[in-house]
């Protein structure tokens, strides 16, 4: 009995990750972590953004880990140059830096993620999971009013988290703390309500001196024995009620289209 002919179909090429950092030890450490977290990933390296530019045409290039502070063309400037590229052609870019202060700018340039040095295994695993969902074409449901198009950035000393505004229920100031309540979690932040209001503009509404809510979450207003209260809801999470001050009552009514 003759053996079946071997298949001539080409094997799928391994995806390629480009590590761009002027520090060899930093590249070596990240390469080691990536080889553990994603064994099928083929790694190539560059010591500068100019050197990395020549590797953009590498077959299978799917992911770039890009240091920000490098001699010559820095990582953020190179990312800005890549931003006009078609999303189908541009590899996913992860910014890596010891300085967390530029995370907002990175996400404005459509970076996939922002990792702070030294990169931790757990944080890298989250980043790779996000990348796998992206290349699998997983879509995040967005509400019809487009609120999910805007991302809010949460940042502390341990991580940077980006989430859709559509998932936010409210911001509440309490003593020296600022609380952000989403449909799934509660976050304690630095900063002020006013800073968030200035940043988000007419997408949010101050309903009380201590509370800010996204306009898309407004549902209904009614009087109670303690004063006016507002029902808010986001996504499929249960609705909740928050107080409305007399000073903000007219603005809330206007936002709801009430007279």
Q: Does residue 119 sit in the same domain as residue 154?
A: no
- What is the percent of the chain with per-residue pLDDT over 90, rounded to a whole number? 42
Asked whether residue 131 is assigned to any structural domain, the reply reads yes
Domain encompassing residue 232? 148-256
User: φ, ψ for residue 240 (rounded to 5)?
Assistant: -140, 165
Residues 131 and 25 both lie in one domain: yes
Q: Which residues lie closer than 8 Å to 86 by C-beta, 6 or more apart?
A: none
> What is the average per-residue pLDDT within 227-256?
90
Asked if 19 and 46 touch (Cβ cutoff 8 Å), the reply is yes
Please name which of 36, 39, 64, 42 lies closest in space to residue 121, comparing C-alpha atoms.
36
pLDDT tens for each residue of 70-116: 999 999 999 988 866 766 668 999 999 988 778 777 877 888 888 98
The radius of gyration of the chain's CA atoms, rounded to the nearest angstrom, is 23
| 49 — pLDDT class (breaks 50, 70, 90) | very high
Say how many domains are in the chain.
Answer: 2
Q: Do 153 and 121 reside in the same domain of the chain? A: no
Q: Assign residue 247 the CATH number of its domain.
A: 2.40.50.1020
CA pair distance 171, 193, nearest whole angstrom = 7
CATH of the domain at 29: 3.40.50.2300
Residue 197 token pair: 């209001």
pTM greater than 0.85: no
Per-residue pLDDT tens over the stretch 139-176: 333 333 444 445 676 665 455 667 788 888 999 998 77
Q: Average of pLDDT values for 39-57?
A: 94
């Amino acid at each position: 009995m003759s053996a079946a002919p071997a298949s001539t179909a080409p094997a799928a090429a391994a995806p390629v990750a480009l590590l761009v950092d002027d520090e060899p030890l930093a590249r070596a450490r990240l390469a080691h972590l990536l080889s553990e977290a994603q064994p099928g990933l083929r790694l190539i390296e560059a010591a500068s953004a100019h050197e990395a530019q020549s590797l953009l045409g590498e077959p299978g290039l799917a992911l770039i880990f890009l240091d920000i502070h490098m001699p010559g063309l820095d990582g953020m400037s190179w990312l800005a140059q890549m931003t006009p590229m078609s999303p189908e052609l541009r590899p996913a870019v992860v910014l890596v830096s010891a300085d967390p202060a530029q995370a907002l700018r990175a996400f404005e340039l459509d970076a996939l993620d922002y990792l702070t040095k030294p990169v931790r295994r757990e944080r890298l695993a989250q980043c790779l999971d996000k990348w796998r969902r992206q290349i699998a074409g997983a879509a995040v449901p967005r509400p019809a009013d487009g609120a999910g198009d805007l991302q809010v950035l949460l940042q502390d000393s341990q991580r940077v988290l980006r989430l859709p505004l559509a998932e936010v229920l409210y911001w509440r100031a309490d003593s020296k703390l600022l609380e952000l309540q989403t449909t799934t979690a509660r976050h304690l932040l630095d900063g002020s309500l006013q800073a968030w209001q200035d940043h988000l503009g007419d997408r949010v509404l101050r309903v009380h001196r201590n509370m800010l809510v996204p306009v898309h979450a407004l549902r209904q207003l009614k009087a109670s024995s303690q004063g006016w209260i507002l029902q808010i809801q986001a996504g499929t999470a249960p609705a909740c009620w928050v107080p409305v001050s007399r000073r903000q009552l007219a603005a809330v009514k206007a936002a709801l289209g009430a007279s």
